[in-house]
Structure 1
Amino acid sequence: MSKRSIIVWGEIPVTDMEKSVAFYNKVFGYDMTIDNSGPNPMAILGGSMDDAGGHLYPGKPAKDGGNTIHLGLTDSLEAGMERCKEAGGEVVSDPIAIPSGRFAYVKDLDGNSIGLFEANA
Protein backbone atom coordinates (compact mmCIF):
# COMPACT_ATOMS: atom_id res chain seq x y z
CA MET A 1 0.00 0.00 0.00
CA SER A 2 1.40 3.39 -0.94
CA LYS A 3 1.90 6.15 1.62
CA ARG A 4 -1.00 8.58 1.52
CA SER A 5 -2.81 11.13 3.64
CA ILE A 6 -5.69 9.68 5.62
CA ILE A 7 -7.64 12.92 5.49
CA VAL A 8 -7.63 14.27 1.96
CA TRP A 9 -10.24 16.99 2.24
CA GLY A 10 -12.54 18.42 4.88
CA GLU A 11 -15.38 20.89 4.56
CA ILE A 12 -16.80 22.97 7.39
CA PRO A 13 -20.22 24.50 6.69
CA VAL A 14 -20.68 28.01 8.07
CA THR A 15 -23.54 30.50 8.01
CA ASP A 16 -21.45 33.69 7.84
CA MET A 17 -18.26 33.47 5.78
CA GLU A 18 -16.79 36.80 6.93
CA LYS A 19 -17.25 36.09 10.65
CA SER A 20 -16.10 32.48 10.30
CA VAL A 21 -12.94 33.41 8.39
CA ALA A 22 -12.15 35.94 11.15
CA PHE A 23 -12.74 33.23 13.81
CA TYR A 24 -10.44 30.64 12.20
CA ASN A 25 -7.80 33.28 11.40
CA LYS A 26 -7.76 34.40 15.05
CA VAL A 27 -7.78 30.94 16.64
CA PHE A 28 -5.21 29.29 14.35
CA GLY A 29 -3.19 32.30 13.13
CA TYR A 30 -4.29 31.71 9.54
CA ASP A 31 -4.38 34.43 6.89
CA MET A 32 -7.38 33.08 4.98
CA THR A 33 -9.38 35.08 2.50
CA ILE A 34 -12.64 34.29 0.74
CA ASP A 35 -12.25 32.98 -2.81
CA ASN A 36 -15.27 33.73 -5.01
CA SER A 37 -13.83 32.29 -8.24
CA GLY A 38 -15.79 29.01 -8.16
CA PRO A 39 -19.44 28.10 -8.02
CA ASN A 40 -19.50 28.74 -4.24
CA PRO A 41 -17.40 31.02 -2.07
CA MET A 42 -14.79 29.20 -0.02
CA ALA A 43 -11.87 29.93 2.28
CA ILE A 44 -9.00 27.44 2.29
CA LEU A 45 -8.08 26.39 5.84
CA GLY A 46 -4.59 27.71 6.53
CA GLY A 47 -4.43 29.12 3.01
CA SER A 48 -2.78 25.99 1.56
CA MET A 49 -3.72 22.64 0.05
CA ASP A 50 -0.23 21.20 -0.44
CA ASP A 51 -0.89 17.70 0.93
CA ALA A 52 -4.31 17.51 2.53
CA GLY A 53 -6.66 20.38 2.94
CA GLY A 54 -10.06 21.71 3.68
CA HIS A 55 -12.17 24.78 3.46
CA LEU A 56 -15.06 26.77 4.90
CA TYR A 57 -18.12 27.10 2.67
CA PRO A 58 -21.62 28.56 2.98
CA GLY A 59 -23.80 25.75 4.28
CA LYS A 60 -25.94 24.43 7.09
CA PRO A 61 -23.99 22.96 10.02
CA ALA A 62 -25.18 19.69 11.53
CA LYS A 63 -27.41 20.20 14.58
CA ASP A 64 -25.10 18.16 16.83
CA GLY A 65 -21.82 19.58 15.48
CA GLY A 66 -21.36 16.73 12.97
CA ASN A 67 -18.00 15.06 12.50
CA THR A 68 -14.96 16.54 14.21
CA ILE A 69 -11.96 17.74 12.24
CA HIS A 70 -8.79 18.26 14.29
CA LEU A 71 -6.62 21.22 13.27
CA GLY A 72 -3.03 21.73 14.37
CA LEU A 73 -1.95 24.69 16.44
CA THR A 74 1.46 26.34 16.12
CA ASP A 75 1.63 27.17 19.82
CA SER A 76 0.17 25.80 23.07
CA LEU A 77 -3.19 24.15 23.43
CA GLU A 78 -4.14 26.52 26.24
CA ALA A 79 -3.37 29.56 24.06
CA GLY A 80 -5.57 28.13 21.28
CA MET A 81 -8.39 27.43 23.73
CA GLU A 82 -8.20 31.02 25.00
CA ARG A 83 -8.24 32.44 21.45
CA CYS A 84 -11.25 30.26 20.67
CA LYS A 85 -13.19 31.76 23.59
CA GLU A 86 -12.07 35.31 22.69
CA ALA A 87 -13.23 34.79 19.09
CA GLY A 88 -16.72 33.71 20.20
CA GLY A 89 -16.28 29.92 20.13
CA GLU A 90 -16.98 27.45 22.93
CA VAL A 91 -14.45 25.17 24.61
CA VAL A 92 -16.27 21.91 25.44
CA SER A 93 -13.50 19.76 26.95
CA ASP A 94 -10.41 19.95 29.07
CA PRO A 95 -7.09 19.07 27.38
CA ILE A 96 -6.86 15.38 26.48
CA ALA A 97 -3.42 13.72 26.26
CA ILE A 98 -2.70 11.13 23.57
CA PRO A 99 0.65 9.61 22.57
CA SER A 100 1.26 12.18 19.78
CA GLY A 101 0.26 15.29 21.76
CA ARG A 102 -2.78 16.91 23.32
CA PHE A 103 -6.11 18.17 22.03
CA ALA A 104 -9.36 19.77 23.18
CA TYR A 105 -12.81 19.77 21.67
CA VAL A 106 -14.30 23.17 20.82
CA LYS A 107 -17.18 24.53 18.77
CA ASP A 108 -16.89 27.30 16.23
CA LEU A 109 -19.39 30.14 15.72
CA ASP A 110 -21.88 27.78 14.04
CA GLY A 111 -21.53 24.96 16.55
CA ASN A 112 -19.27 22.86 14.29
CA SER A 113 -17.15 20.46 16.35
CA ILE A 114 -13.42 21.02 15.85
CA GLY A 115 -10.40 19.76 17.72
CA LEU A 116 -7.49 21.99 18.63
CA PHE A 117 -4.35 19.84 18.45
CA GLU A 118 -0.92 20.52 19.97
CA ALA A 119 1.70 17.99 18.78
CA ASN A 120 4.44 16.77 21.09
CA ALA A 121 7.69 18.70 20.75
Structure 2
Amino acid sequence: MERLGKNTNALNWFEIPATDLDRAKAFYEKIFEIEMQVIDMMGIKMAMFPCEPPHSSGGLVQGPDHKPSKEGAVIYLNGNPDLQQVLDRLEAEGAEITLPKTSIGENGFMAFFVDSEGNLVGLHSGG
Protein backbone atom coordinates (compact mmCIF):
# COMPACT_ATOMS: atom_id res chain seq x y z
CA MET A 1 0.00 0.00 0.00
CA GLU A 2 1.39 3.41 -0.96
CA ARG A 3 1.34 5.94 1.86
CA LEU A 4 1.14 9.70 1.90
CA GLY A 5 4.55 11.31 2.28
CA LYS A 6 5.28 13.35 5.38
CA ASN A 7 5.10 16.58 3.32
CA THR A 8 1.83 15.62 1.61
CA ASN A 9 -1.58 16.90 2.67
CA ALA A 10 -4.38 14.37 3.11
CA LEU A 11 -6.68 16.97 1.57
CA ASN A 12 -6.20 17.71 -2.12
CA TRP A 13 -9.39 19.60 -2.92
CA PHE A 14 -12.81 20.39 -1.47
CA GLU A 15 -16.11 21.53 -2.93
CA ILE A 16 -18.92 23.23 -1.03
CA PRO A 17 -22.22 22.85 -2.92
CA ALA A 18 -24.18 25.99 -3.79
CA THR A 19 -27.68 26.45 -5.16
CA ASP A 20 -26.99 30.12 -5.96
CA LEU A 21 -23.28 30.63 -6.65
CA ASP A 22 -23.47 34.43 -6.63
CA ARG A 23 -25.18 34.43 -3.20
CA ALA A 24 -22.73 31.86 -1.79
CA LYS A 25 -19.73 33.75 -3.20
CA ALA A 26 -20.93 37.03 -1.65
CA PHE A 27 -21.52 35.26 1.70
CA TYR A 28 -18.04 33.70 1.91
CA GLU A 29 -16.27 36.82 0.62
CA LYS A 30 -17.94 38.85 3.35
CA ILE A 31 -17.36 36.51 6.28
CA PHE A 32 -13.71 35.77 5.41
CA GLU A 33 -12.96 39.21 3.92
CA ILE A 34 -11.59 37.62 0.72
CA GLU A 35 -12.12 37.79 -3.05
CA MET A 36 -13.05 34.62 -4.91
CA GLN A 37 -12.37 34.00 -8.60
CA VAL A 38 -15.26 32.56 -10.63
CA ILE A 39 -14.48 29.94 -13.27
CA ASP A 40 -16.40 27.53 -15.48
CA MET A 41 -14.96 24.01 -15.43
CA MET A 42 -16.57 21.43 -17.70
CA GLY A 43 -19.90 23.28 -17.56
CA ILE A 44 -19.85 23.64 -13.76
CA LYS A 45 -19.75 27.10 -12.16
CA MET A 46 -17.14 27.46 -9.42
CA ALA A 47 -15.88 30.22 -7.12
CA MET A 48 -12.36 29.50 -5.89
CA PHE A 49 -11.05 30.16 -2.37
CA PRO A 50 -7.71 32.00 -2.53
CA CYS A 51 -4.68 29.79 -1.97
CA GLU A 52 -0.93 29.95 -2.34
CA PRO A 53 0.81 26.77 -3.56
CA PRO A 54 1.65 24.23 -2.28
CA HIS A 55 -1.41 24.40 0.02
CA SER A 56 -4.66 22.62 -0.81
CA SER A 57 -7.76 24.60 -1.61
CA GLY A 58 -11.23 24.29 -3.01
CA GLY A 59 -14.27 26.24 -3.95
CA LEU A 60 -17.98 26.74 -4.10
CA VAL A 61 -19.64 24.66 -6.81
CA GLN A 62 -23.01 25.01 -8.53
CA GLY A 63 -24.06 22.05 -10.65
CA PRO A 64 -26.68 19.31 -10.94
CA ASP A 65 -24.69 16.84 -8.80
CA HIS A 66 -23.83 19.35 -6.05
CA LYS A 67 -26.58 19.60 -3.44
CA PRO A 68 -26.17 21.57 -0.19
CA SER A 69 -26.63 19.52 2.99
CA LYS A 70 -26.29 19.59 6.77
CA GLU A 71 -25.43 15.88 6.70
CA GLY A 72 -22.29 14.06 5.62
CA ALA A 73 -18.67 15.16 5.68
CA VAL A 74 -17.86 18.43 7.44
CA ILE A 75 -15.21 20.72 5.98
CA TYR A 76 -13.31 22.89 8.48
CA LEU A 77 -12.26 26.23 7.04
CA ASN A 78 -9.36 28.25 8.42
CA GLY A 79 -10.61 30.76 10.99
CA ASN A 80 -7.16 32.03 12.04
CA PRO A 81 -6.03 34.05 13.82
CA ASP A 82 -9.23 33.94 15.95
CA LEU A 83 -12.36 32.27 14.62
CA GLN A 84 -14.50 34.53 16.84
CA GLN A 85 -13.91 37.30 14.29
CA VAL A 86 -15.43 35.09 11.56
CA LEU A 87 -18.30 34.10 13.90
CA ASP A 88 -19.03 37.79 14.54
CA ARG A 89 -19.29 38.40 10.77
CA LEU A 90 -21.47 35.29 10.41
CA GLU A 91 -23.79 36.60 13.09
CA ALA A 92 -23.98 39.98 11.31
CA GLU A 93 -24.99 38.11 8.12
CA GLY A 94 -27.77 36.31 10.00
CA ALA A 95 -26.12 32.89 9.61
CA GLU A 96 -27.04 30.11 12.02
CA ILE A 97 -24.15 29.28 14.36
CA THR A 98 -24.81 25.73 15.53
CA LEU A 99 -21.72 25.42 17.75
CA PRO A 100 -20.10 28.58 19.17
CA LYS A 101 -16.35 28.93 19.61
CA THR A 102 -15.38 25.82 21.56
CA SER A 103 -11.98 24.90 22.99
CA ILE A 104 -10.43 21.67 21.79
CA GLY A 105 -7.53 21.98 24.20
CA GLU A 106 -4.04 22.26 22.77
CA ASN A 107 -5.51 21.90 19.26
CA GLY A 108 -7.15 25.34 19.39
CA PHE A 109 -10.82 26.12 18.82
CA MET A 110 -13.64 24.98 16.61
CA ALA A 111 -17.16 26.10 15.68
CA PHE A 112 -19.97 25.10 13.28
CA PHE A 113 -22.28 27.23 11.17
CA VAL A 114 -24.88 26.79 8.43
CA ASP A 115 -23.91 28.74 5.31
CA SER A 116 -26.13 30.71 2.92
CA GLU A 117 -26.83 27.51 0.95
CA GLY A 118 -27.75 25.24 3.87
CA ASN A 119 -24.39 23.45 4.29
CA LEU A 120 -23.00 22.62 7.73
CA VAL A 121 -19.44 24.00 7.78
CA GLY A 122 -16.77 23.91 10.47
CA LEU A 123 -14.23 26.53 11.49
CA HIS A 124 -10.88 25.95 13.19
CA SER A 125 -8.30 28.35 14.60
CA GLY A 126 -5.34 28.28 16.91
CA GLY A 127 -6.70 31.21 18.93
Identity %: 29
Question: Would the alpha carbon gap of residues 49 and 14 (structure 1) be closer, same or farther in structure 2, given more than 3 Å must change?
Answer: farther
1:101 Cα deviation (Å)?
1.1
- Aligned ranges 1:78-117 → 2 under 5 Å: 78-98=84-104, 99-117=106-124
TM-score of the two chains, using structure 1 as the length reference: 0.85
- Aligned ranges 1:46-61 → 2 under 5 Å: 47-48=50-51, 50=53, 51-58=55-62, 59-61=66-68
- Select the structure that is richer in strand: 2
Q: Secondary structure at the match of 2:86?
A: helix
Q: Which runs of 5+ in 2 are unaligned?
A: none
Do the aligned residues in 2 keep the contact of 1:32 with 1:44 (CA within 8 Å)? yes
2:82 to 53, 76, 94: 76
| Aligned CA-pair RMSD | 1.8
Cα deviation, 1:53-72, whole Å, max 9, x if unaligned, reads: 1111113112x343211111
Q: Which runs of 5+ in 1 are unaligned?
A: none
Q: Between Structure 1 and Structure 2, whose CA radius of gyration is higher?
A: 2
- Cα distance between partner residues in 2 of 1:9 and 1:89: 25
1:92 Cα deviation (Å)?
0.5
Structure 1 residue ranges (4+ consecutive) displaced by more than 6 angstroms after TM superposition: none
1:39 to 30, 40, 43: 43
TM-score of the two chains, using structure 2 as the length reference: 0.81
1:94 Cα deviation (Å)?
2.1
**Aligned residue pairs: how many?**
118
